[in-house]
Structure 1
Amino acid sequence: MTVLRNPVIRGFAPDPSLVRVGDWYYVATSSFEWFPTIPIHRSRDLAHWEYAGHVRGAVPGDSLAGVPDSGGVWAPSLSWDGERFWVVYSVVRSVGTPYFDLDTYVSTAVSAAGPWTPPRRVASHGFDPALFHGEDGRLWLLNMQSDHRPGGRRFAGIVLTELDRETLVPVGETRLLLQHERLVEGPKLLRRGDWYYLVLAEGGTGFEHGVLVARSRALTGPYELDDRPLLTTRDDPKVPLQKAGHAELVETPGGEWFLSHLAARPLQTPDGPRCPLGRETAVQAVVWDEEEWPRLRHGGHHPAVEVDVPTKAFVPQEAPDDGGLEWPWSTLRGPVDPSWADTEARPGWIRLRGRHGPESHWAHSLLARRITEHGAEAEVTVEARPRSFTEAAGLVLWYNTEAYLALDLTWAEPEGEEQRGQQWQGGGRTVLSLVERDEGGIRQVAVAEVGAEGPVTLGVGVEDGAARFWYDTGGARTPIGPPLDFTKLSDDHGSKLRFTGALAGIHAVDLVKGAFTADFAGFRLICQEQ
């Protein structure tokens, strides 16, 4: 046996959808406003996972410009019909309103690495869709429905619609399978023996999250609910893996059963637990009790950190070449493009052309990588010549447009002069500006003057929930500013819905001409597993 250690896909990797194809297991996860859209990982033993590609072209027009934070691609569901992969997912364009304003799409591919077919829109009752491939060759779409009307329930039950396999047009009427007094979503349907099982996400995706199972002798119901959750941590805040939920069952070639699910590793703060790493992917072993309900193999309903899994020979494969600036790099609301991210202009460097500011939902020139552990270090060398306070480039710790920390090389007025716009026409100073952004606004917490010539190395260390920035102009590391609260870069800070995770990266801004460039070299992100 092999012992896996949860989370198996660490850092921002929520809503895992697990499927087995032969001896390989594949997991697709939500990408929200980030590109690459719908990352897919694969494993032969459920313990060791590698990037296997993504659903390229998942968003029509390859653009999520304008979508709000935590909008975009929600909860993809991956399946296999014996010949090809299918993925169904929703593109959500409104967050925190009665209307989700979403479109649900289906795409297929022979290989998880693609190419994927252009997305085709299907019935869009609500987010968290899934497909069920019947043994008779019929295709069914599961979804949750939302009632946007005043007094309506945003989570109004699970519905089922048959689709024509070729046209994806609905066949017959949509059927209501289940309603529940608790919030249920994320339906996954499987058949085992004479039973159809509905695996449901329950209680929302925060600390009340869980997995509930229902079953029926008939595909269209009625479904009876299990009298206890299959998985949850809502009853014990001391469990290391919190927020456990949004699950999918899979059978191994040897007849064993496992469950993929999301979970989060909180840091304790004076304001309560926070999970800056986001929601991550975990795997549990499952057995079936004498009444044919699924149960965690180790007993109870809390997720285990260590799980025994069947041993398979695992030789990591070379990750797909997505062009050098894609995975593990991620970009906001659109794919990486040489018009603003160039690796050829200066060999060994990444040249970013500044575009909108960091709070733009349209065109922020940002390249970032997922932070996977609570202890992390990031650094990069930047060379640029900002001539205005509207030009900046540097190192960022990013959650979203209302939660980030940035150490930027930029321009400022001569020392002692008040801040009154651009008055000096080429005068002023080249400075490093450290800013903190949260729901209360943006604050400049430190400024340090640096020489206008030559590169500067920027860095940050994250430990015990604090981020400590530094810079080096060629001599030694110099701390800048006080320790900043890294835990604000989490789902759990603020009052708005948040669903992603913290990343570290580089960015450039030019609010006036869109022509300012900055060159970056030696980016590294080291995360220490704890």
Structure 2
Amino acid sequence: MSTIVNPILPGYHPDPSIVRAGEDYYIAVSTFEWFPGVQIYHSRDLANWELIGYPLTRSSQLDMIGNINSGGVWAPCLSYSNGKFYLIYTDVKSRQGAFKDTHNYLVTADKIEGPWSEPIYLNSSGFDPSLYHEEDGTKWLVNMIWDHRKGRNSFGGIVLQEYSEAEKKLVGPIRNIFKGTPLGLTEAPHIYKRNGYYYLITAEGGTGYQHAVTSARSTSLFGPYEVDPTNPILTSHPDDELQKAGHGSLVETPEGEWYMAHLCGRPVKDKKCILGRETALQKCMWTSDDWIRVDGGSGPQTEIEVPGLVAKRAVSINERDDFNSSKLDHCWNSLRRPFTEEWMSLEERTGYLRLRGQESMSSLHKQSLIARRLESLHAEIETCMEFQPDNFQQMAGLIIYYDTDDYVYLRMSHDEAKGSVLGVIQSKHGIYDELLEEEIELPVQKVYLKARLEEEWLTFYYSLDGETWERVIGDIDYSHLSDEDADYIRFTGTFVGMCVQDVSGQLKTADFDYFSYKELKKGGSEYETSSHLSGRLGRS
């Protein structure tokens, strides 16, 4: 008996869409304003998952320059039919106030690795679209519909319309097939067919602590849909280790077993989920009267035992990128724009990542920032940087980042009296602060930077030789880097990485020799552990 440990995708991996193609399983997750768009993971056993790439790698597929925080790619749906992969996704341009501008697209590929096609525009009526492939070959788009009118339910139901593959567009009438249950906030629809029933799986209750998965069924694709009498079929209870359970997606194994991928969160103090919304997996079963149930009850399980499953591989979470390749590793992401020679290079100086400073940390357009997901509440990150700032408007360093409002930044800059200096910037809810009473003078232009993260606490260090480390500042509460710590709901998670700014417009560069990411035991010691993710430093 082998065990799957949840979350299977730790750190910021929300809105999972799971599908099987032959013996292979794939999960696609939301990426919001981070580029490339949509992460795809692969597994042969449901326990061990490898990031294999991103389908949205070109600006022609995803143009997010200027997109708002927590805009961009929402809730992708990955499906497979007749030897072809289909990916539906939303590019959200606005999301506050009465209106939401949510543009839905389709791309396809013959192989999961790509190449993926140019996008086909579908509609903009709402978000969380998915594609259902009927047995007769027809294809149907379902999405929630957004109702901006005063006094109406903004989550106006689940609409269905046929997609013509020949014409590459939606055709025929639009039908509202499901208005939701009393839980409300009905979204994330997926349709499955089994034993003559069409099952409509939706997310309800909102994507916070009341989140849930609900089920309804009909003998006709067009409804009416009968609500499962035991809804919700999955939701978190107050004592569950995994909170926010919802946004479910189903997959059937070749042996006829069923599983549900869903998002969840692991809070620290004050119910703040620093890592963001993660992906977990639950085993499911069918009742004698053909309703689906989560094995073990409606609460999410942290471990599920599966007979005959290949045990997960033991992998040390100790990754170092020396930037010796001509391409960035899969783990790296940028904000809103592709990796181009305009602002980054792995070839201008061999063995280094060179970043060219452009706009500030507040920019929704051209930030020169490269980062990876934080996947553990106990971690240590380190880099070595060479930088020669000429004025105070030029800065570079190590950043812990949520969005343009919330980050903590250990950075080198220039002071007219002292020359090169090291300081710490914290932006909390958009309010700028500098945490050191006196910045540290740096006698050289090469500096080693380190951050240690232990649950909600952050400590920065620096070194001039990479051996002897000096504490810069500790006990920084960085729990404001979470979905919950904002006036308006947001959806991403904490990233750690490197960045350069030159708001003087002179495009000053900084060179990074390496980046190290280590996960730690609680209390700060290093360890080797079993990991769900393998090969995370595969090349893009």
**Could you say which TM-score interval applies, normalised by the shorter chain?**
over 0.9
* 1:116–1:133 distance in 2 versus 1, CA, 3 Å: same
User: Which residue is equivalent to 2:126?
Assistant: 126
Deviations along 1:448-500, whole A, 9 cap, x unmatched? Answer: 33334241111110113100111112362111134211211110102122100
1:348 matches 2:345: no
For 1:146 and 1:90, the matched residues in 2 are separated by 13
**Mapping of residues 102-117 of structure 1, within 5 Å:** 102-117=102-117
1:248 matches 2:249: yes
Does the 8 Å CA contact 1:162/1:171 hold for their aligned counterparts? yes
* 1:37–1:364 distance in 2 versus 1, CA, 3 Å: same
**Mapping of residues 52-451 of structure 1, within 5 Å:** 52-57=52-57, 60=60, 62-180=62-180, 181=182, 182-234=184-236, 236-267=237-268, 269=269, 272-298=270-296, 300-309=297-306, 310-312=308-310, 324-414=327-417, 428-439=418-429, 441-446=431-436, 447-451=438-442
For 1:276, the aligned partner's letter is: I
For 1:50 and 1:478, the matched residues in 2 are separated by 36
Does the 8 Å CA contact 1:14/1:29 hold for their aligned counterparts? yes
For 1:413 and 1:324, the matched residues in 2 are separated by 38
For 1:523, the aligned partner's letter is: F
For 1:439, the aligned partner's letter is: H
Question: Aligned-pair distance for 1:124?
Answer: 2.4
Q: Helix, strand or coil: the match of 1:157?
A: strand
Q: Percent identity?
A: 38
For 2:59 and 2:76, the matched residues in 1 are separated by 12
Unaligned runs of 5+ in 2: 315-323, 523-540
Does the 8 Å CA contact 2:3/2:311 hold for their aligned counterparts? no
Does the 8 Å CA contact 1:140/1:162 hold for their aligned counterparts? yes
Question: Aligned-pair distance for 1:208?
Answer: 0.8
For 1:152 and 1:125, the matched residues in 2 are separated by 15
RMSD of equivalent CA atoms: 1.9
* 1:323–1:80 distance in 2 versus 1, CA, 3 Å: farther
* 1:445–1:231 distance in 2 versus 1, CA, 3 Å: farther
TM-score of the superposed pair, with normalisation by structure 2: 0.91
* 1:382–1:57 distance in 2 versus 1, CA, 3 Å: closer
User: Which residue is equivalent to 1:40?
Assistant: 40
TM-score of the superposed pair, with normalisation by structure 1: 0.92
Question: Aligned-pair distance for 1:440?
Answer: 5.2
Does the 8 Å CA contact 1:95/1:497 hold for their aligned counterparts? no
Unaligned runs of 5+ in 1: 415-427
Q: Structure 1 residue runs of 4+, over 4 Å off?
A: 312-316
For 1:21, the aligned partner's letter is: A
**Mapping of residues 429-508 of structure 1, within 5 Å:** 429-439=419-429, 441-446=431-436, 447-474=438-465, 476-508=468-500
Does the 8 Å CA contact 1:62/1:335 hold for their aligned counterparts? no
For 2:39 and 2:444, the matched residues in 1 are separated by 40
User: Which residue is equivalent to 1:420?
Assistant: none
For 1:184 and 1:53, the matched residues in 2 are separated by 30
Deviations along 1:361-394, whole A, 9 cap, x unmatched? Answer: 0000000010001001111111111111110000
Deviations along 1:148-192, whole A, 9 cap, x unmatched? Answer: 122232201001001112223222210111112411100000000
User: Which residue is equivalent to 1:423?
Assistant: none
Does the 8 Å CA contact 1:131/1:141 hold for their aligned counterparts? yes
Does the 8 Å CA contact 2:52/2:330 hold for their aligned counterparts? no
Question: Aligned-pair distance for 1:260?
Answer: 0.6
Question: Aligned-pair distance for 1:514?
Answer: 3.8
For 1:192, the aligned partner's letter is: R
Q: Helix, strand or coil: the match of 2:479?
A: helix
